[in-house]
Structure 1
Amino acid sequence: MATNVFDGNISTIWHTKYTGGNAPMPHVIQINLGASYSVSGIRYLPRQDGGSGAANGRIGQYEVYVSTDGVTWGTAVATGTFANNASQKEVRFTAKSGQYLRLRALSEVNATRGPPPRRPMPSTDRHTQGACGIAPEAPCCARSRARYLD
């Protein structure tokens, strides 16, 4: 369930369609922050349940967008490739005002779907365990977790 992205529980996950076939890449999560904020980064926490399936669905290549209206997105404010591990990832970018955030997963790190993986982008230090940390004052940030796109 998409509500698992923001439930604050690292034991829950959000998963795209996998019964009856997998949903093709890219996978997208769009977040309405409820008001306009100066957004300068996101945090993403991959699946934390361990075991042989834990790497399933980790984002490889990604794009981040910010929009004022949720319709016009323009160019990505950040692009890159996440490392293949369960650590929280942080993406920082030049601040942009907007009410909507979009995280677009172009590939998985295990390269079973999507374009081939690229070298990981250097880390600056990354948006909660998921989708917050975007704007610390945003209402969603205390509980936001964009944790799993498959």
Structure 2
Amino acid sequence: MYLNKSRALYVVMAGLLLLASACEDKYDLPDQPLSKYIKVYMPAAVNNPVNHVLAITDSAQVIIYGADYGGPDYPQADIPVSFSVNPALVDSFNRANNTAYTLLPEHGYTLSATSAVIPYGQLSTPPLELAVKTSGADAVPALKDYLLPISIVKSTVTVNEQLRTVFFVIRVQPNLADYPDFDRSAWSIIDFSSQEANGEGPDNGRAVFAIDNNPGTFWHTQWQGASPGPPHHITVDMGAVKALHGLSFLDRQSDNDGKPQSVTVETSVDNLSWEQAGSFTLQNTKDLQKQFLSGFRDARYFRVNILSSYNATYTHLAELNAF
């Protein structure tokens, strides 16, 4: 009995010694100066890339940036920090991420400051402002994704290299409600891939019914006697050059297959030289669908190319408009 108690006491004491040793190891600080763990960084860079979709407004849209202090204590002196935009980082970002962003145009933004101070006893600079101009002269063009890298370039404290730069992805997105459809009274259809002039009856099938202001009629590609497959197209002359922002689509008001799915758009001012103006996927619905082009442009003519339709090789469309 005595031996068993002694053995038990030995086990307990050994366990306590091991626990004490483990605790000592756990809380021992590394044999290095604390200054090694003090760094400044851009807090927004933790979420790189940082996406901002901006509305079109009369006043500039503001995005906040700045620098923070990281360490075991508060700064014991002021820490001056300098910032800059490095255009070369756009190419390296694109290569690393398989993207194709372009640098945010310099004329379209301002930085409130390129230097700031993390004050003694504080953990961050005052908030600095990236102001992006979204309307008027020199505004950033809408409907395109831009990249703006802002980096810490100088500091009296070591910079965290992984968080030195914040990559802002910026897109100016208009509000569809601000762009009503055009009046189509001077419009004409000047070209189309095919139309069904007989099989849909006298009030349906022909291309002109896509711009007749009647949702009950529709253009239908040919199916009687022949049924050419995609791509299908229809070309509109608006009668004058307009600032073209996008297109409106109203599909045939029935549950028939053949509603447009994959669509591309081309524009022209003279019906001779054409440029790509956007591509998008329409929904299989009878509701009105409005789509911005890839950028605002002046045009008199536009061509809609329907590359595929829902569950059919033919296609149809009740109303086609622009805004």
TM-score (norm 2): 0.34
Q: Which residue of the partner structure matches residue 39 of structure 1? A: 244
Counterpart CA distance in 2 for 1:65 and 1:82 is 16
Q: Which residue of the partner structure matches residue 131 of structure 1? A: 320
Please, which of 292, 296, 300 is the counterpart of residue 99 of structure 1? 300
Q: CA-to-partner distance for each residue in 1:21-79, whole Å, 9 max, x for gaps? A: 2122111010001111110010010000x2xxx332200100011111112212x2110
Determine if the alignment matches structure 1 residue 64 to structure 2 residue 265: yes
Q: 1:55, 1:85 within 8 Å by CA — same for their partners in 2?
A: no
Please, which of 254, 276, 279 is the counterpart of residue 79 of structure 1? 279
Q: Which has the higher strand share?
A: 2
Q: 2:214, 2:319 within 8 Å by CA — same for their partners in 1?
A: no
Counterpart CA distance in 2 for 1:77 and 1:96 is 8
Q: Which residue of the partner structure matches residue 146 of structure 2? A: none
Pairwise CA distance, 1:5:
1.1
Counterpart CA distance in 2 for 1:61 and 1:55 is 17
Q: 1:82, 1:109 within 8 Å by CA — same for their partners in 2?
A: no
Pairwise CA distance, 1:88:
1.2
Q: Which residue of the partner structure matches residue 7 of structure 1? A: 212
Q: CA-to-partner distance for each residue in 1:107-130, whole Å, 9 max, x for gaps? A: 0022x339xxxxxxxxxxxxxx73
Q: Which residue of the partner structure matches residue 37 of structure 2? A: none
RMSD: 1.7
Q: Which has the higher helix share?
A: 2
Q: Which residue of the partner structure matches residue 55 of structure 1? A: 256
Q: Which residue of the partner structure matches residue 155 of structure 2? A: none
Q: Which ranges in structure 2 are unaligned for 5 or more consecutive residues?
A: 1-205
Name the SS for the 1:60 alignment partner. Answer: strand
Counterpart CA distance in 1 for 2:278 and 2:256 is 23
Counterpart CA distance in 1 for 2:287 and 2:240 is 29
Pairwise CA distance, 1:10:
0.9
| Greater RCO, CA 8 A, separation 6+ | 1
Q: Which ranges in structure 1 are unaligned for 5 or more consecutive residues?
A: 115-128, 136-150
Change over 3 Å in CA distance of 1:71–1:56 after alignment to 2: farther
Name the SS for the 2:260 alignment partner. Answer: coil
| Number of aligned positions between the proteins | 114
Counterpart CA distance in 2 for 1:86 and 1:97 is 29
Q: Which has the larger radius of gyration?
A: 2
TM-score (norm 1): 0.70
